[in-house]
Amino acid sequence: ADHAGITPMDLRLDALVGVANFLKKLPSLALNISKYARATVGIISLKPAMTNVVPEKVKIFIDLREVDEGRLLKLEQVVKERLFKLDNEGYQVKVDRVFYDKPTSMDAGLARMAEETARGRNISYLRMNSGAGHDAQVFGRLIPALMLFSSNIPFRIKLFSFFISFTPVVSSDLLFYKRFLQEILFMRQ
């Protein structure tokens, strides 16, 4: 690895700079696939990880999500192609798929009922797809499933395919959720 003090900027092959240039383009790669696509880098590690040494190796973990499997696989392909362009700049790129789980759509009928219930209670909501792999993803392959989450200030909880905002936060939230779910289930009968 090159030393920070004795290696001129124009003679460096800084792996972190290469990855940073890639990361700058990552959001647009996802958005070019669809508005539902997600690309997130949550882990970056450097070797050597020292303040006075030019990074020689960078390892990143990218979480790709999309509700449509075809678009998810296309996103993966586009991301790989962009990463391998770093080879042309002198970097050595290796890509490994660590985990893959086929996207599962939540039940449209349950989502519609949840929306109707929210509107009937004058609750603001946002329908969304995060691509999260929770129990509902497993259940959703077998039975109608839906995930409901809420976002309360000052805490935020991630949502899967449905978002409901409740204000103010009160101690009876669990009872409220119970009644909300009962209304949805009652509509299904």
Give the CA-trace dihedral at 130, 63, 67, 167, to 10 degrees.
0
Average pLDDT, rounded, for the chain: 83
C-alpha dist (Å) from residue 158 to 98, 101, 151: 23, 19, 8
15 pLDDT more than 80: yes
The predicted pLDDT at position 180 comes to 77
- For 123-164, the pLDDT digits (tens) are 777 777 767 666 777 888 888 888 777 655 444 444 444 444
Exposed e or buried b per residue across 63-87, where buried means at least 16 C-beta atoms within 10 angstroms of its C-beta? ebbbbbeebbebbbebbeebbeebe
Q: 82 near 25, Cβ under 8 Å?
A: yes
Question: 172 with 152: CB under 8 angstroms?
Answer: no
Q: What is the pLDDT of residues 59-106, one digit of tens each?
A: 999 999 998 999 999 999 999 999 999 999 999 999 999 988 888 888
DSSP secondary structure string for all residues of 79-90:
HHHHHHGGGGGT
pLDDT of residue 164: 47
pLDDT of residue 47: 96
Q: What separation, in Å, do the N-terminal and C-terminal C-alpha atoms of the chain show?
A: 66
Which DSSP helix (H) or strand (E) runs through 151?
strand 149-152
Helix runs in the chain, H state only = 15-33, 69-84, 108-120, 135-139, 173-188
Q: Whole-angstrom Cα distance, residue 94 to residue 83?
A: 9
pLDDT score of 159: 45
Half-sphere exposure of 48 (CA within 13 A, CB side): 9
- Position of tokens 């800084």? 14
Q: According to CATH, where is 3.30.70.360 located in the chain?
A: 9-89
- The rounded distance, in Å, linking the Cα atoms of 83 and 81 is 5
- CATH code of 9-89, in short, is 3.30.70.360
Render pLDDT for 19-30 as a digit per residue (tens, 0 to 9): 999 999 999 999
